[in-house]
Amino acid sequence: MTHALDYSGKTVLVIGGTSGIGNGIAQGFNRAGATVHVTGTRSSKDDYADSDLDELTFHRLDVAERDSVASLDLPEQLDVVVLCQGIVRYGREEFDRAGWDAVMDVNLNSLMDCARAVRPKLAEAGGSLIVVSSVGAFHAMVGTPAYGASKAGAVHLVTSLAAAWAGKGIRVNGIAPGLVETKMTAVTFDNDKRREGALQTIPAGRFGTPDDMAGAAMFLASPLADYMHGQTLRVDGGMTL
C-alpha cells in the first residue's frame, strides 16, 4: 500500500521555488519522491548559488511579464502546482501607484495567470493547486497596504477557483504562512528588537520554517486532504489566534 505522502511518480511545479518558502516546499516534495520543477526570475540555475536546486528542474519565469506565463514550457505531466510568488515594497512605496501596481501584478494578478496556464494539465491529472498567501491577509499591514490587500485577494481567489474547478477534478487550497525567516522578512529578522517583539506574539514560541510550509503543502496535495476544497490553512504557530 502506497503511503499517502509518497509522491513517487508525481510531478510538482513550484512557481517561485528557488528560495525561501517556495524552495522549502520544493525540497519537501523532492524528498517525498516527486519530480520537481521550479521557476525563478534569474537566467539559469547557476545564478542561484545561495539555494539548493541540485535535484530540481529550473525554468526561468518572471510572472510580472504576463506573456511569459502563458508561454511557460510545462512538464508533460502535472499533478501538483504550488504558486509561491511574492514581493513586497517597504518604505511606504506601496502607497504610490507604481509600488501598488508592482505588488499587485506579482502577488495577485499573476496567480490567475498561472492558474489559467496550468488548469488543463491539472484537470488531466485530477491534480491539486496550492496558493501560498500570508497571515497578512487577515490583519492590517500598516506600511504595506498592497501586500496585505493582495494576500487577502489570494485567499479569496482560492475559494473562487475551488468552487469553479472542483467539477473538473482539481482541488484548490491555500497556505497562509506566519513569520518565516526569508529574504522578504529580513526587515524583521535583521532587527533584534523587532525580532524579539515578533517572537512574543507567537504562542508556539518559535518562528516558522520553510519545512513547516512544506508539510502543509504535502498534506493539502495528498489523498489525506481529498475532501478539502477552498481552504487556506494558517500555518503560523498560533500567531493569529
Q: Give phi and psi for 175, each to the nearest 5.
A: -130, 130
* Beta partners for residue 57, in sequence order: 37
CA-to-CA distance for 5 and 18, rounded, in angstroms? 22
Torsion of CA 51, 56, 62, 64, to 10 degrees: -90
Out of 7, 48, 90, 147, the active site residue is 147
Cell numbers representing residue 201 in the block? 506574539
Q: Is 147 a catalytic residue?
A: yes
End-to-end CA distance of the chain: 38
- For 166, the 3-state DSSP assignment is helix
CA atoms within 13 A on the CB side of 94: 18
Helix, strand, coil percent content, the chain, rounded in steps of 5: 45, 15, 40
Active site residues: 147
